[in-house]
Chains A and B, each alone.
Chain A
């Protein structure tokens, strides 16, 4: 059972040039999840993100060059595995994820290996228009059938993972566009991990470019398709087998 005081929780915040928002993000996490450690993974930022994050009280891992969200996240998962964390929460550095929902995500981990905070499952006023929205709905339906659980938001980067999932993602975390959200779900399914969804509210961006932005265009549905197919074809076994 995962909650507060007993469990060791790590919040991983991938950040690429988020000097505008990172301080607010860390403050929010520390306020709503004071029991958790915060690791900002600076993905080769050229601004003062790392320095600001460190001053705000977070641990900062600085990648020597930009690797994409997947590279930053795997770094965070490796840190989590090596330091024996019970849970990892993924929170974007751009302020889109509401830290108030972190305790909810952690609580939901008692039934699942991976909990996804979904934007369209009823809460929040996250607006996406026309064709993009339709494409995202199609994508969500497809991913739901693939993963075996109802998913309303397949490209959400707001997630919680338990020890079993940490072990998998410390080895396998795709880097390409949509790989970090869609292919990870495929990896989860192929590794026998269970996936759940909880509704969360999300904000409009506070500044700069979004880390996770659903589909950039309706045509991205094809890219999504190829990423998923790639994930299904690939061998995701671990160097030691997944823990029972």
Chain B
């Protein structure tokens, strides 16, 4: 096992942790994901600093090549993360649907109100709204 691999691991782990801190600072990351990534990044850095840990763990579990254990553990962690993200995306989509429906029904009520009170011409308000909606990227 060349020491070069461990330096890369250390650098990657530390870079990940720094990246996570910056994303947290900009409020891009929710609490739970920040914690997960910090744990992963620190774990990688730790293993890189103390390779004996990985070797000991590999012996305990019965894996011949220590690096395989690391790769396997990483894959499992990523799989869990992907599942969590999928769940979040699903939930967010459900909420977006509800919001879209509410907006449509609001427009209906607003149009009825505006016709009744003969205020702002409905065409102008609707044109601006659909212009913005068209700019959403997919």
Chain B residue at minimal CB-CB distance from A174: B31
* Contact call A64/B99, Cβ cutoff below 8 A: yes
CA–CA, A70 and B27, complex, Å:
15
Contacts of B98 in A (CB 8 A): 64-65
Chain B residue at minimal CB-CB distance from A175: B30
* Contact call A176/B31, Cβ cutoff below 8 A: yes
Chain B residue at minimal CB-CB distance from A67: B95
Bin chain A's interface residue count. 10 to 19
* Contact call A226/B31, Cβ cutoff below 8 A: yes
The A194-244 residues at the B interface (CB cut-off 8 A) are 226-227, 230, 233-235
* Contact call B95/A230, Cβ cutoff below 8 A: no
Least CB distance, A233 to chain B, in whole angstroms:
5
Bin chain B's interface residue count. 10 to 19
Least CB distance, B87 to chain A, in whole angstroms:
16
Contacts of B99 in A (CB 8 A): 64
* Contact call A234/B95, Cβ cutoff below 8 A: no
Contacts of B34 in A (CB 8 A): 230
Least CB distance, A232 to chain B, in whole angstroms:
10
Chain A residue at minimal CB-CB distance from B99: A64
Indicate if B88 sits at the interface (CB-CB under 8 A).
Answer: no
* Contact call A233/B95, Cβ cutoff below 8 A: no
Across the A-B interface, the 6 shortest Cβ-Cβ residue pairs:
A233-B24, A64-B98, A64-B102, A230-B31, A235-B25, A234-B27
Binding site for A on B (CB under 8 A): 21, 24-27, 30-31, 34-35, 95, 98-99, 102
A-B contacts, 25 of them at CB < 8 A, read A64-B95, A64-B98, A64-B99, A64-B102, A65-B95, A65-B98, A176-B30, A176-B31, A179-B31, A226-B31, A226-B35, A227-B31, A230-B24, A230-B31, A230-B34, A233-B21, A233-B24, A233-B25, A234-B24, A234-B25, A234-B26, A234-B27, A235-B25, A235-B26, A235-B27
Further pairs besides A230-B34, A234-B27: 11, Cβ < 8 Å: A64-B95, A64-B102, A176-B30, A179-B31, A226-B35, A230-B31, A233-B21, A233-B24, A233-B25, A234-B25, A235-B26
